[in-house]
Amino acid sequence: MKEIKNLVDLTVTEAVEVLSSGQISSRELTEAYLERISEHERDIHAFITTTPDLALKMADGADTKRLKATKENENIPPLLGLPLAIKDVLCVEGVRATCGSKILEQFTPPFNATVVENLLNAGVVVLGKTNTDEFAMGSSTENSAYGVTHNPWNKERVPGGSSGGSAAAVAAKFSPAALGTDTGGSVRQPASFCGVTGIKPTYGRVSRYGLIAYGSSLDSAGVLARTTEDVEIIFRLMAGYDERDATSIDAPVADAVCRDGADVKGLRIGVPKEYFIEGIQPEVAQSVRTAVETFRDLGAEIIDISLPHTEYALPVYYLIAPAEASANLARFDGVRYGLRASDENMLKMYTESRGAGFGPEVKRRIMLGTYALSAGYYDAYYGQAQKVRTLIKSDFENVFSKVDVIAAPVAPTTAFKIGGHGDDPLAMYLEDVFTLPANLAGIPGLAFPTGFDSDGLPIGMQLMGKQFDEPTLFKLGYVFQQHTDWHQRTPHL
Ligand code: GLN
């Protein structure tokens, strides 16, 4: 038997191994995480809601189930007893889902998101719901109505966003893995800011049912964990066709590629010049270039490429995402869900509930989006943005005839200071320049750590792949992590 390190140090792969061998119980593992959370959550604030009672109940259930299944020779679910944290925009039946918003402070969904349901069927134990920018709108978790999350590497820094709570929870070892969502970078950027690994899947690969909608043509549920192998395990179990999501695609989930013998020889990696622009923190560019050289040393072929419409991704996204958000958020009107601020008459109910329930960034996006969709402006803004979106998409299609994946920085800087962007929404939007294109094109992106800057903050790179080609991303991330140890470094809390 292998000696077990501190329980919270286990990766998903290791935890699953020691759970299956019976070396530890799910209760022991779950208690270890709950203890760590109660010790450090005050300083990090990764969660909006923790669910210790539910977690212990689920853990005991998992332990009982394992005993019974072993005795009766039944199948054992692959993640049976594994603790997991879930971003607060994904519905878990019976657990409050706030989306980081006051308007949903009292909302408890009566159903599970499909990704959650899939993972519950695989046996996970729910530790709690993680902090997020309100309705996933933001890049720092500062837009949460429930307070900011602190980066475990430096508590004066943001963890990134909007899945900042999930990234911080993994980095702080509050959970071996966490679910996030990525509409314009919200899995990859916080993964990069917190030194963890995260996947934003192909649009349509993972069900959006029960993911409280932000931008429906861009939203994708993803996973954050400490290694690529861990991310792949959870991704494969949550992915798949779902008839309850009309954009879900009926294609089989590929076999796991993170295993001994995986290699990257002959894979063609494109490096787009538009992602190494002026204004990027030099240490970030350098670290990503060094990682690309590591891939070259491992046998990959490196090719310079161009994605000429990259500069339009930011304005295009900040028209399309708010436009979709303005429509999606119309349902929060005081009638059906969450906050009702007035009963006096219908108009007052609408305006006062929305006025009191939504925070400033959400209101800004609703106004921007409503404007971009309004008669007389639709063609000039939303319509035009859709056309340019097609150009961005075709940039990728052209390049993917020459390369297998694209390597780029995740964000232009490492984690910035809490309050660092003050009241400047544009400065915040600029954080997303490198992550938005993948969402606009519907392609997958994997972020993983490649080094640290001189302030000791993690740097990450992303690999973007062809639609449905998550396996190639995982293979590259896995092989990189077999040869480097950036992902093994963890912060001292
Ligand atoms: N930062 C981007 C935004 O604010 C992306 C957020 C996300 O991916 N959910 O819209």
The pLDDT value recorded for residue 4 is 73
Q: Does residue 159 fall inside a structural domain?
A: yes
Helix, strand and coil percent figures for the chain, each rounded to 5: 40, 15, 45
Report pLDDT digits (tens) over 433-454.
999 999 999 999 999 999 999 9
Beta bridge partners of 128: 50, 85
Is the CB of residue 305 less than 8 Å from the CB of residue 292? Answer: no
In 329-350, which positions are buried (b, 16+ CB within 10 angstroms) versus exposed (e)?
A: beebbbeebbbbbbeeeeeebb
**Residue 179: per-residue pLDDT:** 98
Instruction: Give me ligand 1 centre to Cα 463, in Å.
Output: 18
pTM above 0.95, yes or no: yes
Indicate whether 122 belongs to any domain. yes
Residue 367 lies in a domain: no
* C-alpha span between 170 and 156 (Å, rounded): 18
Ligand 1 pocket test: which of 89, 214, 324 has the largest number of ligand atoms within 8 Å of its C-beta? Answer: 214
User: In the chain, pLDDT over 90 holds for what percent of residues?
Assistant: 95
For residues 114 and 92, the answer to whether their CB atoms sit within 8 Å is: no
Q: How far is the CA of 189 from the centre of ligand 1 (A)?
A: 9
Under the banding of pLDDT at 50, 70 and 90, the label for residue 336 is confident
* Longest pairwise C-alpha distance within the chain: 70
Question: What domain count does the chain have?
Answer: 1
* Closest ligand 1 atom to 361 CA: 4
Given the residues 25, 139, 140, 162, select the one marked as catalytic. 162
- Find where tokens 């061998």 sit: 21
Asked if 88 and 99 count as a contact pair (C-beta separation under 8 A), the reply is yes
pLDDT value of residue 2:
59
Give residue 3's pLDDT. Answer: 66
* pLDDT given at position 299: 97
- DSSP output for 156-183: TB---SSTHHHHHHHHTTS-SEEEEE-S
Q: Does 274 reside within a domain?
A: yes
Is 292 contained in some domain?
Answer: yes
Give the chain's radius of gyration (CA, Å): 21
Q: Evaluate whether residue 369 is within a structural domain.
A: no
CATH number of domain containing 99: 3.90.1300.10
Closest ligand 1 atom to 187 CA? 8
Active site residue 162: yes
- 465-488 pLDDT per residue, tens: 999 999 999 999 999 999 999 999
Q: What's the mean pLDDT when you consider all of the chain?
A: 96
Pocket-testing residue among 134, 137, 429, 431, ligand 1, by greatest number of atoms within 8 A of Cβ: 137
Read off the pLDDT of residues 412-431 as tens digits, 9 standing for 90 and up: 999 999 999 988 888 899 99
Question: Tens of pLDDT along 182-191?
Answer: 999 999 999 9
Torsion of CA 196, 202, 207, 210, to 10 degrees: 50
Residues with CB under 6 A from ligand 1: 136-139, 162, 182-186, 214, 321, 432
Q: What is the mean pLDDT of residues 405-415?
A: 98
346 occurs within a structural domain: no
pLDDT tens column, 283-330 = 999 999 999 999 999 999 999 999 999 999 999 999 999 999 999 999
Identity of the residue numbered 327: A
Q: Does residue 87 have an active-site annotation?
A: yes
| Domain carrying residue 12 | 7-309+394-488
Triad 389, 235, 461: Cα angle to 5°: 60
In a domain, 90, yes or no: yes
- Out of 139, 186, 248, 287, which one is annotated catalytic? 186
Residue with tokens 């470094």: 489
Q: Write the pLDDT tens digit of every residue in 134-154.
A: 999 999 999 999 999 999 999
Indicate whether 9 pLDDT > 60: yes
Annotated catalytic residue within 25, 26, 87, 353: 87
